[in-house]
Chains A and B, each alone.
Chain A
Amino acid sequence: MGAIRTLRNAPLVLFGLIWLLIAGVPFYFMVITAFKGRFELMAGGSVFAFPQNPTFDNFRDVLTSGTFFNYLLNSVIIVSVSVALILLFSSMASYVFARIPFRLNSTLFSLIIAGLVIPLHVTLIPVYLLTRNLGLYDSLWALLGPYVAFNLPISIFILTEFMRQIPRELEDAARIDGAGPMMTFFRIMLPLSKPGLATLAIYNAVVLWNEFVFAFVLILTPQNRPLPLAIWEYQGQYSMNIPAIMAVLTLSALPLIVVYIFGQERVLKGMMAGALK
């Protein structure tokens, strides 16, 4: 019976292994090349072969050139500030939508949710002009407005659903004890929403960490650009030094991959947040 089941599974498993190759080989090529000497690749020989003399030189060059950490820091700053604001604003708005009945409640909610389908690129030109007028053009902070605004609809959508499912008993009790709506929000709703907020934090952090278009258009000076753009710069800087470029790619992918390996279920849940419900 077991053997038969295994046999019947065989085509599927074979497909799984083929996909492992398709998904894995590009990463294998990237990492293995990053450890090769600059001329080893040019000398012919298989690109899939292990490095003859594995070297950390490429990583050292990238890390000590000084700019890599600068880009990394830019990414950490803009992503963490944006995510913090997104969580704060969306939890405030979601509390109103989930708990306070007022005349425009569902109208406003639907309008904000409509933001989910809007193609962001439409706003690129006006946001560029606006950023220039605000004097923010070419600085890291130019990204803050668009980053927060574009992720509010999905965050409010998810968090409102989440808050609606929190039982009302605690709030009612707090109310009887004389707590107003604000106090109820900070003391009760916010702590109870922690799991929802964690999911949202991961989702938004991954999306923003990899964001490209706005960073590309709104920031010109390399030193002010976040990490995805750094890769773009390095590509020009190292042009034909493929091992060095592969080292940059490996280093830039590393933070998320490490986080993912340690918190797989959480990351998966967070990344699916945008699609589930």
Chain B
Amino acid sequence: MDTTTAAAERGITRATRRKLPGWNEYTPTIILFLLPTLVFMVLFVVWPIINSFELSLYQWNGISPTRDYIGLNNWTRLISDRVFWKAFGNNLIVVVLSIAVQMPLALLLAIMLERTTNLVVARFLKTVYFFPMLMSSVAIGILFKYIYDPSFGPLSQALKALGLASLNRQWLGDPGIVLYSIIAVICWQYIPFYMILFLAALTGIPEDLRDAARIDGANEGQYYRYIAVPIISGTLRTAVVLSLIGSLKYFDLIWVMSEGGPNNASELMATYMYKKAFPSFEMGYGSTVASALFLIVMGVGLITMKLTRRFETKV
């Protein structure tokens, strides 16, 4: 018995230390167990990305059997495409407003829920707050299309009841405000997500710290400001990165509520890509927009990761 254990242990350590490049008893398992994942990832993620860049060099309607190689023409077109840059700018507005609105509100709600945990009401609040996360974007988009209806929608009725009828607008029809109307709904949908994320982080802080802070004379506000929020800064950072990347590739609600209109006023990179590739049958140019979106998201992702990591070491 002892000798077998020793032998087994030696077997493990040998495999670990030398990391044998050749065949061993684990090889069949490694191959068999990784194969399905690798097949799916290569077929539906890796190859499509490469293919996207390849297609960006062609002019093709997606139907005809032949496609014309046009070199970098699609890319030069993209660089001078006003609609694409408008969409890119809109994406940036979504990024900035999502972070600026969602993070503080979600944090306040999380703090409120944490301070009132003992009350039965808090449980009820938490339940209702989370509902928006359970609905599909399509359902939310359609619901808010009716809520925003300027003639009989609840929003216009509420404004009228409050004597603010003059504030009523064509919420989704006015190019000047359509993007902001939809961003409000995006925030409505995602605030609960970040709220629960922050709540989990806050409740994870050991009680001793709060007690210690209280003994030192800190009030609740000071506890959150100087102790709790700095402690959960890692979670806050994760949330900012998630929101940033999510906003850059956003599609759903914009597509359901305005299809990027009116007149490209709420166009995003992803909706523009869809429009070019499918309704306009420009697979080549659509792929160019897709590839640009890919480069932008990956670039921003890398930069933020670098920046936040540097930030991390500094603190």
Contacts and interface: CB of A to CB of B under 8 A. Distances in A.
Contacts of A125: 48, 52, 55, 273, 277, 283, 286-287, 290
Contact of B26 (A47, A181, A246): A181
B37 A101 contact: no
A125 B40 CA distance: 17
B33 A92 contact: yes
B157 interface: yes
Nearest to A119: B249
Contacts of A172: 8
A30 B197 CA distance: 27
Contacts of A228: 136-139
B188 A22 contact: yes
A42 B270 CA distance: 37
Interface residues on B, range: 35 or more
Interface string B135-162: 1111100111011000011100110010
A19 interface: yes
Contact of A120 (B33, B109, B249, B286): B249
Interface in A17-61: 19-20, 22-27, 29-30, 41-42, 46-48
B290 A124 contact: yes
A201 interface: no
A93 interface: yes
B95 interface: no
A148 B36 CA distance: 10
Contacts of B62: 129
A156 B36 CA distance: 12
A241 B253 CA distance: 22
B197 A275 contact: yes
Nearest to A17: B125
Interface string A236-251: 0000001001100100
A119 B291 CA distance: 10
B29 A181 contact: yes
Contacts of B33: 92-93, 95-96, 185
B128 A23 contact: yes
B272 to A, nearest CB: 11
B128 A206 contact: no
Contacts of B51: 126, 129
Contacts of A146: 44
* Chain A binding surface, main DSSP class: helix
Contacts of A85: 36
Contacts, number: 264
Interface in B243-264: 245, 248-249, 251-252, 255-256
Contact of B34 (A93, A101, A180): A93
Interface in A116-144: 117-130
A19 B290 contact: no
B25 interface: yes
Interface stretch (B75-83, B110-118, B207-215): B110-118
A16 B124 CA distance: 11
A193 B220 CA distance: 39
A118 B45 CA distance: 9
A65 interface: no
A123 B49 contact: yes
A260 interface: yes
A126 B8 contact: no
A229 B141 CA distance: 12
Contacts of B45: 115, 118, 123, 149-150
A127 B48 contact: yes
A276 interface: yes
A149 B43 contact: yes
Given A150-B45, A245-B146, A181 B8 contact: no
B15 A209 contact: no
A228 B5 CA distance: 56
Nearest to B111: A12
Most chain A CB neighbours (cut-off 10 Å) among B1, B34, B105, B161: B34
23 contacts: A8-B220, A15-B109, A27-B131, A47-B152, A47-B157, A89-B37, A92-B34, A92-B37, A102-B26, A121-B273, A123-B44, A123-B48, A125-B52, A125-B287, A129-B51, A175-B8, A206-B134, A210-B138, A228-B138, A246-B143, A252-B135, A253-B135, A257-B134
Interface of A: 8-9, 12-13, 15-16, 19-20, 22-27, 29-30, 41-42, 46-48, 85, 88-90, 92-93, 95-96, 100-103, 108, 112, 115, 117-130, 145-146, 148-150, 152-153, 156, 172, 175-176, 180-182, 185, 206, 209-210, 212-213, 217, 227-229, 231-232, 235, 242, 245-246, 249, 252-253, 256-257, 260-261, 264, 268, 271-272, 275-276
